[in-house]
Structure 1
Amino acid sequence: MKKYSSAEPVSLRELDIVPGVLGRIARERSAAYRQGAPLSKSNPEPLEWRGFGEALKAPGLSVIAEVKRASPSGGLIADIDPLQTAQSYFAGGASALSVLTEPKYFGGSLEHVRTISSQVPLPILRKDFTVHPSQLTEAVEAGATAALLIVAILGDRTKSYVAAGSALGLDLLVEVHDRKELQIAIESGAEIIGVNNRDLSNLQINLETAPMLLTEARNLGYTGLLVAESGYRTRIDLEPISDLADAVLIGSSLAASKDPKVAVEALVDH
């Protein structure tokens, strides 16, 4: 693994090798932060409450409920009110929230994090395509207690981004999709690893991915928190990962539900 002493912006040259839809979105996010998006220049005090990871340590399979309006694979899911949706998730028993902040493909906004964090008493993951260290600072300033790092984007830079986020007091959900990425995540010092069933290069879902890599992580001696992501809709879907993962992140199926509170209740361990 190539070593980076500090978290620096991911170069366009590096992002050129990221395939498919993931690469396109990552390059667009990189361009936004290089060519005009306001970069945070403040140095916020490190968070003292590391609530996201703690929330996932409760007995049973914790539910991370996602606030999102759209996705690259499905287009507009629902024209939801982010705050009302988050409040419904909380009422339904979600342990934590994931809030999209990528605007073009997911209909997200950092303002959603600010609004929700001020009114809903759940830890929030800022979910975006992190390509610039300023995004970590923004997450803290907006009220998030965790941020997403995708190994397929960051590669060998993952470790430096984990260190940078940790220095701010953020929990980092380090996302992987194959064995090579899992090894990078473990070596980065990640305390939370998420296994995405969706191949972000082509958006296809394989629900066998999470059980395989969650098992592999434990076989490699990983003792941190494990999260399964993408493709889960019912309690039956969760059975293969119920004894392997600490939490499950659920997005589209909740966002599309007519009653988010009831939808979460149907998934939460009682």
Structure 2
Amino acid sequence: MVPELSRVEGVLGQIARRRLSEVRPYPLPPFPECPSFAQALGAGGLAIIAEIKRKSPSEGEIASLDAKAAALAYRRGGARAVSVLTEPYAFGGRLEDMVAARAAGLPILRKDFIVHPFMLEEARAFGASAVLLIVAVLGDALPFYLERARGLGLDALVEVHTEAELEQALEAGASVIGVNNRDLATLQVDLSTAPTLGRKARERGFAGLLVAESGYRTKAELEGLKGVFDAVLVGTSLAKSQDLEGAVRALC
């Protein structure tokens, strides 16, 4: 099942449609053993998911990161998982970065614009423990991708930005929900988004894992997430730092 992408607006739609046009299934290597993403995030406290991010549509060029060295530094700093951007054009990523990052022994999240079932198999073959599923991209196809991911042994971080998207994620049976402070259509960040939608999810009885995403730079900004969220995904502020290990440690 391929999602209907003509309805997806802005930069998000542009990137998603390009990704779909590039999908060419090919023979994959055997799936490797991978640590559990969900278990790492659910181990207590507010877990840090540190991201390997070289550039973005909102920031332009960020940093020339070596995936292996960055992942090892993140682990030394106390990160519990590593998010690896594999979209090549807007974010400067590649699939091989997941293979390199596995040297740290942490769960790997494939952060990309998943728009075809083959991309799930690809993620698993290259060592991902989890994949990002964006509700704004997948729409009604979300349940299919969620089930397919689980069938491959992948955890799914189901990303929402609005209350309507949160309802879709809950109805689909997501067990890990990420709330993105960034509107992926306009690229604007509002740090009130995650706390607001996180509380709504808990009020609705959601007992799964909650991850706050985008815009976090300081430990003080994370205080309001505790008690509601299980993890926070931090990318740009870490990648821009000159001390990856120290930057993660400062957030823990």
Which interval holds the TM-score relative to the shorter structure?
over 0.9
Aligned equivalent of 1:62: 47
The answer to whether structure 1 residue 173 and structure 2 residue 157 are counterparts is: yes
CA shift at 1:77, angstroms? 0.2
Runs (5+) with no aligned partner, structure 1 = 1-7
- The equivalences for 1:1-270 within 5 A come to 8-10=1-3, 14-33=4-23, 38-41=24-27, 51-117=36-102, 119-268=103-252
Q: How many residues align?
A: 252
- In structure 2, what is the Cα distance between the partners aligned to 1:199 and 1:76? 20
The TM-score normalised by the length of structure 1 is 0.90
Runs (5+) with no aligned partner, structure 2 = none
CA contact under 8 A between 1:40 and 1:137: conserved in structure 2? no
CA contact under 8 A between 2:35 and 2:106: conserved in structure 1? no
CA shift at 1:229, angstroms? 0.2
Code of the residue aligned with 1:60 in structure 2: it is G
The TM-score normalised by the length of structure 2 is 0.97
CA shift at 1:49, angstroms? 5.2
- CA-to-partner distance for each residue in 1:14-62, whole Å, 9 max, x for gaps? 21111111011111111111xxxx41455956x7756100000122100
- The 3 A distance-change label for structure 1 pair 48 and 113 is closer
- The 3 A distance-change label for structure 1 pair 48 and 224 is farther
- In structure 2, what is the Cα distance between the partners aligned to 1:154 and 1:43? 27
CA contact under 8 A between 2:34 and 2:107: conserved in structure 1? no
CA contact under 8 A between 1:195 and 1:228: conserved in structure 2? yes
CA shift at 1:187, angstroms? 1.2
CA contact under 8 A between 1:50 and 1:170: conserved in structure 2? no
Aligned equivalent of 1:3: none
SS of equivalent to 2:251: coil
CA contact under 8 A between 2:182 and 2:190: conserved in structure 1? yes
- The 3 A distance-change label for structure 1 pair 193 and 40 is farther
Code of the residue aligned with 2:48 in structure 1: it is V
- In structure 2, what is the Cα distance between the partners aligned to 1:41 and 1:258? 39
CA shift at 1:240, angstroms? 1.4
CA shift at 1:200, angstroms? 0.2
CA contact under 8 A between 2:29 and 2:125: conserved in structure 1? no
Q: Where in structure 1 do 4 or more consecutive aligned residues deviate above 2 Å? A: 40-45, 47-50
- The 3 A distance-change label for structure 1 pair 44 and 163 is farther
CA contact under 8 A between 2:34 and 2:127: conserved in structure 1? no
SS of equivalent to 1:216: helix
